[in-house]
A and B are shown apart, each in its own frame.
Chain A
Amino acid sequence: AQSVAQPEDQVNVAEGNPLTVKCTYSVSGNPYLFWYVQYPNRGLQFLLKYITGDNLVKGSYGFEAEFNKSQTSFHLKKPSALVSDSALYFCAVRAPRAMDSNYQLIWGAGTKLIIKP
């Protein structure tokens, strides 16, 4: 079965330190990978995606993510965390389909990121 795992319910980081939010997936074929962020009382906001090509992708707000095919991971990273980065982060995967006839995201459970001043 296809699935996405975010092994950490919560990640605590001091402001200015690098942060990593982990994501691993189990999908047949070459997936499309996404990170979304949810701030309190806000919707799911797109951060970045991996389609193909360079394994390191850059997104909004200084975030980047590294695709590792052998480890089936797509960890979210930022070199220097800000207090304003505190939010709920979701990893999502779209499984490739032969006909590409539809669009269904498979979601991780989410990781709460807390940045302390």
Chain B
Amino acid sequence: EPEVTQTPSHQVTQMGQEVILRCVPISNHLYFYWYRQILGQKVEFLVSFYNNEISEKSEIFDDQFSVERPDGSNFTLKIRSTKLEDSAMYFCASTHGLRGGTEAFFGQGTRLTVV
């Protein structure tokens, strides 16, 4: 069964450092997403991406965040200068289309710890 893969599974970084979280969406999917889950809190939408541009972003997704699809397979989330409050589990997801009942496929997540 096709799956979304994320690397690394766990990243520890010092406050102020840049991190790049990587994702390989399902190969025939066209829409890509990042969500995050701070420990003990709900999963939150960050950003959606289609046709090499951001299609929607939440209030969380400020100027410190950026996304990129550098090649035909990878989809990355960059945090330029990490803060303690960026510590969370980050999930990548993809969908084939946008029809209402389309389910999203999620990766296993990257646990980011900012110290």
Point out residues on A near B: beta carbons under 8 Å. 32, 34, 36, 41-46, 49, 51-52, 90, 92, 94, 96, 100-110
| Residues in A neighbouring B102, C-beta threshold 8 A | 103
Q: How far is the CA of A52 from the CA of B100 in the complex (A)?
A: 10
Encode B91-115 as 1/0 by CB contact (under 8 A) with A: 1010100111111111111000000
Q: How far is the CB of B48 from chain A (nearest CB, A)?
A: 6
Distance to closest chain A CB from B7 (angstroms): 13
**What are 22 A-to-B residue pairs whose CB atoms are below 8 Å?**
A32-B100, A32-B101, A34-B103, A36-B106, A43-B107, A44-B93, A44-B106, A45-B106, A46-B105, A49-B101, A49-B103, A52-B101, A92-B43, A102-B56, A102-B98, A103-B31, A103-B48, A103-B102, A103-B104, A104-B56, A107-B42, A109-B41
Residues 73-102 of chain B, each 1 if its beta carbon lies under 8 Å from chain A, else 0: 000000000000000000101010011111
In whole angstroms, how far apart are the Cα atoms of A32 and B102 in the complex?
9
Question: Are B91's CB and A43's CB within 8 A?
Answer: yes
| Identity of the chain B residue whose Cβ is nearest the Cβ of A36 in the assembled complex | B106
Q: Give the contacting residue for A43; candidates B42, B95, B99, B106; CB below 8 A.
A: B106
- Specify which chain B residues have a CB less than 8 angstroms from the CB of A109 in the assembled complex: 41-42
A108 partner, pick from B9, B42, B99, beta carbons under 8 A = B42
Chain B residues with CB under 8 A of A103: 31, 33, 48, 95, 98, 102, 104
Interface check B19, CB cutoff 8 A: no
Q: Which residues of A contact B48 (CB under 8 A)?
A: 102-104
